Structure 1
């Protein structure tokens, strides 16, 4: 029988920093500074939202205005008409995006977690070398690996399929690095106690390790979803029925000045989905960034 201790979550103990004593004037100055910085960071997002409600003449106005003078929803109706008249149904693009983004995100979280566990909690020959290769891979941009990825996908015979876009997402090194660093904070005594109670390695991984690194893999899921959401699949997907929503939206953006109203709505949609996804799970990201260690 596995001890009840194995099935319970081990909570993180965040190191408490000493409260910094500041004067009222210092607090006011800090508040003003943070407020100004927040406004500057919010301006691009406000500009994207306002452009979606501007008529065509205001979109080409120079100098550009931050807020629309005459609010209109014609841009949304224009985008709806364009997508309704497309050769492939709009719902098909959405389905393709869900399959690609969902499959790539889920697969990456699972593979990165499974690979990070032995690197964090087991000793074996070549462990440091493998992790050094993972860290080294973070230095290369996707353009560097574009050609090797295409050759591998072609050799596997999965070109022009969903797997051609989903499978490379499993191997992103950032996820493995993040999960390993977080798993190392789990006390070894907790895992040894589970082994003494007869728990298998998979049981330890699934019932103890994964619940305790939940902020890390939720953060990883957010980052990976944002990456997959912006993937147009143009490198591997040739059939129009397989292409994601991003591909169709970018075609509208590049269709000329007459479609700039619809293009403004497209920009809003592209930015809105990752932001909404982030807002839902932002507490997990904050917890990941603020957790500084665990105590035995």
Structure 2
């Protein structure tokens, strides 16, 4: 009994305030997600009712039904997987190769090239959207996966992120492999990449999520419904006069975010384990 009282006395007011602060921040972060989920199950009358309510009075699945019946949802989901997955795969390959060269190989002009890559981060992609579109159109890649994926096959942020991680790995690993006669590609494939799994997974998650949720890129480079993604396909539900069925939109957003949540739950444990064992492989 005395131990319990002593433990209670050791609880500081600062700890309680920090806990309450974290609870408030967590509630604010989860509030938009709760609104999306609850609105997805509201009938149209309650969605447009004033004053608005958080939870639906009459739960309905009509919004989810409209997503399946009014859109080629299966095709849109497959397109989203191919688009986001393809960009992620190519970005991991090309970004890691470029980052390895900038971090572990000494060659003339390396610093200038690095500065140019970092400087490109300051240019918004909207500024280069028209020239890229013209190039893709000249190649005949409009409404193709090549047109969606190829312009995003490498990313300056990914190169910089991986380079910084590669710089933190001990150079003794490379030198020992070179003494054994390993080539640069063998060092990259067998030594650097296995120790960079946390950075690769981080970049992969960011790249996949950003492209999965992207709306502008698929809208610009596709004008056929069967080549759209989930995010661009939801724009087809806009009614006459620009009327937006918010309940249906929220249902589509809920369906679109579910694969991301499930995927994160699967990779979370492996992500933590890889961080704990970095440098020990």
Question: C-alpha distance in 1, partners of 2:91/2:51?
Answer: 44
For residue 53 of structure 1, report the CA deviation from its aligned partner. Answer: 1.0
Contact 1:219–1:284 (Cα < 8 Å) also in 2? no
For residue 274 of structure 1, report the CA deviation from its aligned partner. Answer: 3.1
Contact 1:218–1:284 (Cα < 8 Å) also in 2? no
Q: Secondary structure at 1:54's aligned position in 2?
A: coil
For residue 59 of structure 1, report the CA deviation from its aligned partner. Answer: 0.5
For residue 210 of structure 1, report the CA deviation from its aligned partner. Answer: 0.9
Q: TM-score, normalized by length of structure 2?
A: 0.85
Contact 2:195–2:279 (Cα < 8 Å) also in 1? no
2:143 corresponds in structure 1 to 160
Contact 1:53–1:75 (Cα < 8 Å) also in 2? yes
CA offsets, 1:164-210, max 9 Å, x none? 11011113211111110101111101110011112221121111111
Question: C-alpha distance in 2, partners of 1:69/1:214?
Answer: 47
1:193 corresponds in structure 2 to 176
2:226 to 215, 237, 241: 241
Structure having the higher helix fraction is 2
Per mean C-alpha deviation after superposition, the further-off stretch among 269-278 and 200-209 is 269-278
2:211 to 228, 231, 249: 228
1:278 corresponds in structure 2 to 264
Question: C-alpha distance in 2, partners of 1:77/1:171?
Answer: 38
Contact 1:216–1:285 (Cα < 8 Å) also in 2? no
Contact 2:41–2:63 (Cα < 8 Å) also in 1? yes
Contact 2:238–2:244 (Cα < 8 Å) also in 1? no
CA offsets, 1:221-251, max 9 Å, x none? 1111112212342222233332223222221
Contact 1:253–1:263 (Cα < 8 Å) also in 2? no
1:35 aligns with 2:36: no
For residue 212 of structure 1, report the CA deviation from its aligned partner. Answer: 0.8
2:7 corresponds in structure 1 to none
Contact 1:134–1:173 (Cα < 8 Å) also in 2? yes
Aligned length: 267
Question: C-alpha distance in 2, partners of 1:38/1:240?
Answer: 38
Question: C-alpha distance in 2, partners of 1:45/1:241?
Answer: 29
Say if 1:221 and 1:253 are closer, same or farther in 2 by CA, change over 3 A.
farther
1:67 to 21, 30, 55: 55
2:161 to 178, 183, 187: 178
Gaps of 5+ in 2: 1-9
Q: TM-score, normalized by length of structure 1?
A: 0.81
Question: C-alpha distance in 2, partners of 1:254/1:171?
Answer: 37
Per mean C-alpha deviation after superposition, the further-off stretch among 36-45 and 265-274 is 265-274
1:252 aligns with 2:240: no
The runs of at least 4 aligned residues of structure 1 exceeding 4 Å deviation read 253-258, 282-288
Say if 1:254 and 1:207 are closer, same or farther in 2 by CA, change over 3 A.
farther
Contact 2:103–2:164 (Cα < 8 Å) also in 1? yes
Contact 1:253–1:260 (Cα < 8 Å) also in 2? no
1:17 corresponds in structure 2 to none
For residue 158 of structure 1, report the CA deviation from its aligned partner. Answer: 2.7
Say if 1:283 and 1:140 are closer, same or farther in 2 by CA, change over 3 A.
farther
CA RMSD of aligned residues (A): 2.6
Say if 1:132 and 1:140 are closer, same or farther in 2 by CA, change over 3 A.
same
For residue 267 of structure 1, report the CA deviation from its aligned partner. Answer: 2.2
Question: C-alpha distance in 2, partners of 1:169/1:209?
Answer: 24
